[in-house]
Amino acid sequence: MLKLAFQNMRYYKSQTMAIFFSIFLTAALLSGIGSLLYSSQLNETENSKRIYGNWHYALPSNPQLLKSIKKGDREQGFFLEQYGVKEIRETITTPYEISFVWSDTSYLKMTDRELVKGNYPATPGELAADIFTLSNLGYKGKPGEIITLNKTEYTLSGILNSPWAADTDHMEVFVSEDFKSTDVLSTLYVKFREEGKLYRQLYAFLDYYKISGNDVENNDKVTKYLGGEEPEHLYQILKFALTDEKGNFTYIVLKLQAEYNLAFYGMVLLLCAFSLCVIYSIFQISVSKRILQYGIMETLGISDRALGGTLLAELWMLFLIGYPLGCLAGNSILKLSYRRLAGIFTPLYFSANAQEISAADSLSLGDTKTPQFHTACWVMLIGFLFLFFAMFLIGILTLLSLKKQTLRQAMAEDPCFLKGSRKIYSRRNRNLTGVVIRKFMFSNPKKITGILLSLSMGGCIFLCTTYMVENLKIHAEMSLKSDEGLSSPYRISLMSHTLGDTIPKETVEEIKELPQLAEIHATKYIPGEITIGKTELEWDEYFDERNKDSYFRERFGGICVSRGNNYGIKYNVYGYDSNLITQLKDYILEGEISEKDWEKGNKIIAVANQDGQGNFNFYGKHPGDTLLLKVPKAFKDDGEILRFENPKKDYLEMEFELAAIVSRPLTQENRFFNVNGWKNHPSLILSNPQMERLYHIADYSFLDIEPVKGADDAFFDALLQAIQNVPRAVLKDDTKAIQAQRNYLGQQQLFFTGIAVIFLAISLFHIMNSANHSILSHRREYGIILSMGITKGQFYRMILSAGILYGILTDVFIFLLYHIFLRQAMNYYMAHVLQFLHFTAAVPREIFIMVLVLNLLISLIAVLIPAGKILKAEVLENL
Amino acid sequence: MHILELRHVEKIYGEKENQVKALGDINLKVNPGEFIAIVGTSGSGKSTLLNLMGGLDSPTKGAIYVKGKEIGSLKRKALTIFRRRNIGFVFQNYSLMPVLNVYDNVALPVTFDSGNHLNHGYIEELLKELGIWNKRKKYPQELSGGQQQRVAIARALVNKPAILLADEPTGNLDSATTVEVMGLLKTSCRKYNQTILMVTHNEGIAQICDRIIHIEDGRIVNENNFINTKPSDAGEGGDFTC
């Protein structure tokens, strides 16, 4: 069998090479993309470590625990790699809320807050702080500078790295270990060796030191891919989905994504399936070319087993050579080009000159680190095993398809007996060659459907990926603006919990006059409460969770509270400028936004609630419906007014007409309701003139500022100067963070597009091979036509018409598949799993046309090559 | 003028030590309307000779004239068009297009000539003459060998070529069908005044022809001319043995 298989490979060189290259390319693709995805996850974890700290869990600490950890075993079902301690020694509230923190060096290292300049405080009279804190306090940030806090003078001993996206709600200064305090809040940060599932190590750790797991905080962004939380059992997920009324397919998908990293494993599975399709299809083509030989072998009495063995031996031999070589090539090429793509995976690894610290450079001042390329050996192993056994199936299927034919058919190389319309075409149509071409293609509908499906696969994958990238672009931009609070390079906000603190109108006017200003969005804000009927409320579980938070309970009396037959739900009420309101039009789910409404009308825009499965809803209300909104009349925060339980006279209650429902707000307040890890609190949007006319709010709560390109530090200083006399106003510089995030997102898009292009390239190779086979399989018939005296030009025209037909049909398939099925599937996936479907996103028309034209071109080239071969040969050779 | 003339034609396959001389110094003249059989054993070079005469292959040496035109001097496109208009082929394996029905198979070569009118009356006449008019909507696979060969003959005749070349046209047929097909060829030859050169290894079949050319080892070894010795031509399904 081996000898026969080897001889087959030698004799059918071009087919052997086609199978070999299909294995080689798909192995390169499978292992390469597997490794890229694996690397991206590991490097995303590295990024998260920089942003959120290089620790896995945080838990309340005490001296005994620290003592026992110091003495205790570090390997008892867990491996404690690093731990650090942070103690909040004191907190002051003026001029801002500032914590005096002592921490060990290990903590500083773990949270990337190491010293950039100077020394760590050695005496109680010294402190170290970051540039964000110092600049807002009005200091230049030079070691030795005297800092006055709470009427006490401290010497600035050193400058620390600013934390990522500086927390405007809270500032920290670091003090020496001798800094005395009466009330210490100590937290232990632990980091385990990243092998196996982390939650198992945590359980062993808690068990070993007899610690309760109730107050353990999981650094979930870091532990996301490291098994930070015990996943729910698959059986439980399925049971809930199938038996509970809330369970559905989306639930399963979401659970698998959250608990079992479905996106990654799904991708590996898809790659395996894609590889299998390509190999199977090319192998089928090769086998069909030698049906005659198999027919002869069967006539000579070869057993099914031996025939199957020969097929398998051939496939496996090629696989055993092609797969490792493909893996090697795929990984090597990607490893070499990985540094060029470095930014994809390491958005924060930029270098900065630590000697010249400016406010803009105060973030993540680390050494340049090269991201690592990680080879996903286990993906290769999975791929190897999957394809190895899949090939066994291919062998069996091929054998079965051979057995379906009679020996005569096999030997006549006539796999299908043609039957078609009895119509005489030449009576009305002189173009009989066109009829011949069409009949060649459509003689076997099953076969042509299979071919067209496989041909359109690459184009479809490319379009789906492009569609996702287009959505990702919008989502990334929006997340940056709304979720991450990085809407503009500079943001002036208030570090205050009282409504009375605002940014005066005059300050905004002053900033508007700054020479280097490009754009400013000044937003007004007021917390409000809407009234919703008890029957209208959905997702009460969400509000139950919010109500459980002691901060919301104590300060606002809960987020969603019962008011007789209704619920009162706390809402952020924003006053946007006209520019931002216009931008909101891209996110309309229902209704319309008209500029006229904002001048005199009492129309309001509501941001829909989005559930965990990506469904939008606004309590069953639609544009034109009314909404009752209550806001405090006076801005003095007596601590009770925001509970909305004072006498009626303290509030303004108005009925608004719902103009539109949008999917998200654009810029958000980070105080009041968007705190304690809660983001995207329900919002309502009015215009600035409405806020002034209806609620008499003249001043602003936060400003998003965009300087002109190339603006220098003077602009930053001018902004600081402008807010100098505004109590509790802070200026945050997000230039670097935005740039880093944009780079990351841009390169992430490039990465996805790159993968799609590879798919497209493999698919094009496949199209070439299929079209080539399709023409050459009718070589004899073309030979007959040539012998009858068709000219070279006529022959090329005939073959080109076949190419055009292939191209057009593939394009039609792509068009229909994409619009009827795939786009719906992508919409479902993005809406419910990724949760970033945007209604305005679409594949750019140019890209769509490019894919269609490329298919057509490739089909034409693909048929011209075998046509050339046929013409090159003598007529008799073709016969 | 001879309709076909071969002057010192030689055909060698392969190169250097692998050279095989298929034909050597062939000289032949064919008159219009002649029905000639080329007879020889397997490998004698008879099919090679037929292919050279049809312009399907080119000679290593020598010249071939069809209707006074040296086909070797024609460029590829001109040769193709010349062949299409002047030479018809009938192959042993019929070489029909499996995806076209009988009628369209016959009409196909005419459609290559854009200026040529598709004469449906003539196609109908041909099919009726060959006894396959009632099969015109059938596909080749649905026909017997003999019927398929009739279609092939009809197709070869549809462009009214000056010469019809038939390579073992009865090679795949049983004796009764062979008689039928030979009769049809003979009738066509007479009716349409066509020159037919037929390759066969069967001496019996060759007897129906006007002239028999014996070929051995790539050389013409003998020529028998019956045109004067056999005044009465065999009619349809002529009286001969295979």
The per-residue pLDDT for range A497-515, each reduced to its tens digit, is 778 888 999 999 998 888 8
Average pLDDT of span A33-52: 80
pLDDT band with cut points at 50, 70 and 90 for residue A453: confident
Q: How far apart are CA A448 and CA A460, in angstroms?
A: 17
Whole-prediction pTM value? 0.65
The pairing of strands A609-610 and A616-617 is antiparallel
Asked if the bond preceding A866 is cis, omega within 30° of 0, the reply is no
Which residue of A lies nearest to B113 if distances are taken between CA atoms? A790
What is the spatial distance between Cα A669 and Cα A525, in angstroms, rounded to a whole number?
8
Per-residue model confidence (pLDDT) at position A700:
92
Across A44-52, average pLDDT:
79
Does B139 reach chain A within 8 Å, measured CB to CB?
yes
Provide the pLDDT for residue A399. Answer: 76
- Cβ-defined contact of B77 to A793 (cutoff 8 Å): yes
Q: Does any CB of chain A come closer than 8 Å to the CB of residue B13?
A: no
Best of B92, B103, B108 to disrupt the A interface (most A CBs within 10 Å) is B108
Question: How far, in Å, CA of A284 to CA of A287, rounded?
Answer: 5
SS3 of residue A146 by DSSP = strand
pLDDT greater at residue A3 or residue B159: B159
Neighbours of A435 (CB within 10 A): 19
DSSP state of A668: -
Q: Say if B108 is an interface residue toward chain A (CB within 8 Å).
A: yes
- The model's pLDDT over A783-816, given as tens digits with 9 standing for 90+, comes to 888 888 888 888 888 888 888 888 888 889 888 9
DSSP A348: T
3-state secondary structure A592-649: CCCCCHHHHCCEEEEECEECCCCCEECCCCCCCCEEEEEEECCCCCCCCHHHCCCCHH
* Cβ proximity of A770 and A761 under 8 Å: no
CATH number of the domain encompassing residue B160: 3.40.50.300
Between A228 and A118, where is the model more confident? Answer: A118
Of B83, B89, B100, the CB nearest to A432: B100
Of A436, A790, A875, the CB nearest to B100: A436
Per residue in A252-264, pLDDT tens?
A: 877 787 777 787 8
pLDDT per residue as tens, chain B (242 positions) = 789 999 999 999 888 778 888 898 899 999 988 999 999 888 888 888 988 998 888 899 999 999 889 988 888 888 888 888 889 888 888 888 888 889 999 988 888 876 667 888 889 988 988 888 999 999 888 888 888 988 998 898 888 888 999 988 888 778 888 888 888 888 877 887 889 999 988 888 888 888 999 999 989 887 776 654 443 343 333 333 33
Which residue of chain A is at minimal alpha-carbon distance from B114?
A430
Contacting residues of A for B111, CB less than 8 Å apart? 426, 430-433
Rounded CA separation B206/B46 (Å) = 13
CB atoms A433 and B120 under 8 Å = no
- The pLDDT of A609-631, averaged and rounded, is 83
Residues of B with Cβ-Cβ distance to A440 under 8 angstroms: 99
Tell me how many domains chain B contains: 1
Q: Residue A432: which of B51, B83, B111 has the nearest Cβ? A: B111
For B104, the closest of A417, A419, A424 (CB atoms) is A424
Q: Report whether pLDDT(A703) > 50.
A: yes
* Three-state DSSP state, A858: helix
CB A104 within 8 A of CB A188: no
> Rounded to a whole number, what is the distance in Å from the CA of A780 to chain B's nearest CA?
8
Contact B77 A792 (CB under 8 A): yes
Is pLDDT of A409 > 80? no
Q: Given CB atoms, is B96 within the 8 Å cutoff of chain A?
A: yes
Cβ count near A3 (within 10 Å):
9
What angle in degrees, to the nearest 10, is found between the helix axes of A845-872 and A792-816?
150
pLDDT given for residue B5 in this prediction = 93
Task: Give the count of Cβ contacts less than 8 A between chain A and B.
Answer: 100
**What's chain B's Rg over C-alpha atoms?**
17
Name the pLDDT band for A413 (thresholds 50, 70, 90): very low
Q: Which of the two residues, A9 and A800, has the higher pLDDT score? A: A800
For chain A, say whether B233 makes contact (Cβ under 8 Å). no
CA separation for the pair A837, A596 (Å, rounded): 29
Expressed as residue numbers, the domain containing B49 is 4-240
Which chain A residues have any C-beta within 8 angstroms of a chain B C-beta?
A: 414, 417-420, 422, 424-427, 430-433, 435-436, 439-440, 443, 780-781, 783-785, 787-794, 874-876, 879
Please judge whether B80 and A792 are an interchain contact, meaning their C-beta atoms are less than 8 angstroms apart. yes
- The predicted pLDDT at position A353 comes to 33
Please spell the DSSP secondary structure of A180-239, one letter per residue: --S--EEEEEEEE-SSS-HHHHHHHHHHHTT--STTPEE-HHHHTTTT-SPPPPHHHHHH
Whether B99 and A417 lie within 8 Å, measured CB to CB? no
What is the predicted pLDDT for the residue at B168?
86
Q: What mean pLDDT, rounded, does chain A reach? A: 80
The pLDDT of A326-334, averaged and rounded, is: 87
Q: Which stretch, A114-118, A153-157, A414-418, A516-520, has highest mean pLDDT?
A: A153-157
Does the structure show a pLDDT above 90 at A227? no
CB-based contact (8 Å) between B104 and chain A?
yes
Residues of A in contact with B105 (CB under 8 A): none
Angle at A322 between CA A317 and CA A328, to 5 degrees: 140
* Residues of chain B contacting residue A781, judged by C-beta atoms under 8 Å apart: 97-99
The token pair that represents A387 in the structure block? 């394809």
Contacts of A792 (CB under 8 A, 6+ apart): A871, B76, B77, B80
